[in-house]
């Protein structure tokens, strides 16, 4: 099994910089601009003491990396995972800058996280970690400067704790300080399903471009968390056949397509996929190698690497997760003619609807779910069009088509705004 904790040939930050170099060549960017784009504006590391339920005190390392805010305030997810470290967070912060730029959000990129395994902590311990981390970042997070959002192992509950802690530290209620909150405390409808919906919209745009449709398509999804489960549900509703899914406890396969509704009911009760009797159990890794039309990695990064890229059979890979394909494997997939819809496009739905939440919160005017979904669809369609224009005119892969668009806009803004002082 490939895990993010396993040493990768190239780490997340090196990968992000190599991709930037490749893009810099295509855009003919000078060295100064490349260095600026490849370096984060600010890196904050904290060491938070937290009292455990047994009375002991444990230290937790936390990070926030602000990559670039030339297009607007920083934004980006907060990840709770044992693999969280400075290089990974910095690389992911860069991806966030490109993602916001590609889909036209007035935001810059950031990422944060705490190195921990949430499954080893009680809910009260997790709350104390979240609140202490937020307090240590009280001068970093800000509705006008840096807005955190959910990522792996964080969701509406953690965003409500962040918003509440920051508001208490500053003496006023600040719903705009975090997005992905529950609707009862200023969240938006449609946010919890936004990333999965965005993945489905991304795939639908590609199929439309190819003159095909979702109905009947055979899809395998690795990861059945917030992203993978919603993606499976929406694909199933739109007539695709979800033939396999997996989570940390293993995989499930059904030739005729899984009954996703039934499976969601099962995981609501049992939390994990393990033990579900209406499908054939397979390993979590086997999901990656099945013969199917589309593979959607939706768990950790670096799942498709030099050691297994030759085993991928799906002709289309949609990157639901952040950076699920390593830099080297990306080249191997491209050589094999496998089309990869890149993360900065495919999983942008969460960032887009987080932006909607922030806009609605600042106007105190809330939209309906159909308005949210329609606007999301418009933005995804526009981003696809811009990416494809580069693919067609320059003969690029989808990834490089997206990068040229995204990095080009940030580079242009940097040039226009000039260098202060």
Q: Does 205 bind ligand NAD (CB under 6 A)?
A: no
Closest residue by Cα to residue 223 from 307, 134, 152: 152
Of 91 and 228, nearer to ligand NAD (C-beta) is 228
Q: How far is the CB of 215 from ligand NAD (least distance, A)?
A: 25
Q: For the segment 131-150, give every residue that binds ligand NAD (CB under 6 A).
A: 150
What whole-number distance in Å separates Cα of residue 226 and Cα of residue 244?
17
Among 320, 342, 361, 401, binds ligand NAD (CB under 6 A): 320
Among 133, 141, 224, 384, binds ligand NAD (CB under 6 A): 224
Q: Does 75 bind ligand NAD (CB under 6 A)?
A: no
Secondary structure (3-state) at 150 = strand
Q: Are 215 and 200 in contact (CB under 8 A)?
A: no
Secondary structure (3-state) at 155 = coil
How many distinct helices (H) and strands (E) make up the chain?
A: 13, 12
Of 29 and 360, nearer to ligand NAD (C-beta) is 360
Of 224 and 384, nearer to ligand NAD (C-beta) is 224
Q: How far is the CB of 302 from ligand NAD (least distance, A)?
A: 10
Q: Does 151 bind ligand NAD (CB under 6 A)?
A: yes
Q: How far is the CB of 270 from ligand NAD (least distance, A)?
A: 12
Q: Rounded to 5 degrees, what are φ and ψ at 14? A: -60, -40
CB atoms within 10 A of CB 91: 26
Q: How far is the CB of 319 from ligand NAD (least distance, A)?
A: 9
Which one of 64-72, 314-322, 332-340, 399-407 is the stretch in contact with ligand NAD (CB under 6 A)? 314-322
Of 132 and 191, nearer to ligand NAD (C-beta) is 191
Q: Does 350 bind ligand NAD (CB under 6 A)?
A: yes
Q: Does 188 bind ligand NAD (CB under 6 A)?
A: no
Of 24 and 196, nearer to ligand NAD (C-beta) is 196
Q: In Å, how far are 99, 234, 238, 284, 343 from 301, measured between CA atoms? A: 16, 23, 27, 14, 11
Among 125, 164, 247, 293, binds ligand NAD (CB under 6 A): 247
Q: Is 11 left (phi over 0), alpha (psi -120 to 50) or beta?
A: beta
Is 111 known to be catalytic? yes
Cross-strand partners of 45: 63
Residues near ligand NAD (CB under 6 A), total:
27
Which one of 11-19, 65-73, 101-109, 218-226 is the stretch in contact with ligand NAD (CB under 6 A)? 218-226
Q: Does 322 bind ligand NAD (CB under 6 A)?
A: yes
Of 34 and 149, nearer to ligand NAD (C-beta) is 149
Q: Does 373 bind ligand NAD (CB under 6 A)?
A: no
Q: Does 321 bind ligand NAD (CB under 6 A)?
A: yes
Of 227 and 376, nearer to ligand NAD (C-beta) is 227
Secondary structure (3-state) at 394 = helix
Query: Pick the catalytic residue: 15, 111, 226, 233?
Result: 111
Q: How far is the CB of 352 from ligand NAD (least distance, A)?
A: 10
Among 153, 188, 302, 339, binds ligand NAD (CB under 6 A): 153
> What tokens appear for 396 in the block?
């690029």
Q: HEC profile for 257-294?
A: CCCHHHHHHHHHHHCCCCCCCCCEEECCCHHHHCCCCE
- The dihedral over CA atoms of 79, 84, 88, 93, expressed in degrees to the nearest 10, equals 30
Closest residue by Cα to residue 224 from 275, 303, 284: 284
For strands 108-115 and 57-68, give the pairing.
antiparallel
Residue in the shown chain whose Cβ atom is closest to ligand NAD: 225
Q: For the segment 267-306, give every residue that binds ligand NAD (CB under 6 A).
A: 284, 298-301
What whole-number distance in Å separates Cα of residue 396 and Cα of residue 377?
24
Of 247 and 405, nearer to ligand NAD (C-beta) is 247
Q: Is the bond preceding 421 in cis, omega lying within 30 degrees of 0?
A: yes
Q: Does 248 bind ligand NAD (CB under 6 A)?
A: yes
**Which residues, in sequence order, are CB contacts of 79 under 8 Å at separation 6+?**
89, 92, 111, 112, 113, 114, 151, 152, 153, 154
Q: Does 347 bind ligand NAD (CB under 6 A)?
A: yes
Among 225, 264, 282, 366, binds ligand NAD (CB under 6 A): 225
CB atoms within 10 A of CB 165: 22
Catalytic residues: 111
Interface with ligand NAD (CB under 6 A): 1, 3, 150-153, 195, 222-228, 246-248, 284, 298-301, 320-322, 347, 350
């Amino acid at each position: 099994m490939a895990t993010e904790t396993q040493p990768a040939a190239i780490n997340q930050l090196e990968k992000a910089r190599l991709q930037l170099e490749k893009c810099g060549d295509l855009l003919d960017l000078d060295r100064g601009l490349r260095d600026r784009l490849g370096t984060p504006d600010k890196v904050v590391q904290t060491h938070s003491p937290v009292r455990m339920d047994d009375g002991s005190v444990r230290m937790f390392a936390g990070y926030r990396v602000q990559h670039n805010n030339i297009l607007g305030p920083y934004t980006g997810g907060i990840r709770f995972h044992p693999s969280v470290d400075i290089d990974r967070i910095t690389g992911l912060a860069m991806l966030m800058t490109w993602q916001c730029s590609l889909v036209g959000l007035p935001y810059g990129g950031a990422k944060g996280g705490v190195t921990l395994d949430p499954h080893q902590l009680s809910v009260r311990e997790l709350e104390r970690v979240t609140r202490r981390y937020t307090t240590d970042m009280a001068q970093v997070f800000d509705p006008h400067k840096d807005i955190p959002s959910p990522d792996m192992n964080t969701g509406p509950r953690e965003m409500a704790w962040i918003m509440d802690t920051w508001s208490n530290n500053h003496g006023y209620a600040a719903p705009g300080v975090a997005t992905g909150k529950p609707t009862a405390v200023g969240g938006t409808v449609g946010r919890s399903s936004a990333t999965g919906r965005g993945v489905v919209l991304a795939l639908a745009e590609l199929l439309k471009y190819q003159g095909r449709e979702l109905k009947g398509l055979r899809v395998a999804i690795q990861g059945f968390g917030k992203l993978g489960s919603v993606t499976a549900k929406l694909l199933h509703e739109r007539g695709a056949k979800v033939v396999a899914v997996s989570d940390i406890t293993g995989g499930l396969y059904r030739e005729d397509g899984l009954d996703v509704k039934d499976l969601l009911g099962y995981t609501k009760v049992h939390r994990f996929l393990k033990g579900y009797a209406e499908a054939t159990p397979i390993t979590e890794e086997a999901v990656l190698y099945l013969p199917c039309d589309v593979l959607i990695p939706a768990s950790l990064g670096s799942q498709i690497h030099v050691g297994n890229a030759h085993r991928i059979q799906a002709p289309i890979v949609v990157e639901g997760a952040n950076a699920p394909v390593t830099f080297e494997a990306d080249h191997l997939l491209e050589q094999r003619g496998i089309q990869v819809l890149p993360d900065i496009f495919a999983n942008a739905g969460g960032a887009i609807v987080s932006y909607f939440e922030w806009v609605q919160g600042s106007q105190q005017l809330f939209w309906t779910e159909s308005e949210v979904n329609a606007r999301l669809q418009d933005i995804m369609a526009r981003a696809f069009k811009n990416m494809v224009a580069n693919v067609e005119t320059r003969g690029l892969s989808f990834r490089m088509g997206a990068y040229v668009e995204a990095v080009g806009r940030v580079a242009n803004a940097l040039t226009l705004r000039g260098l202060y002082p």
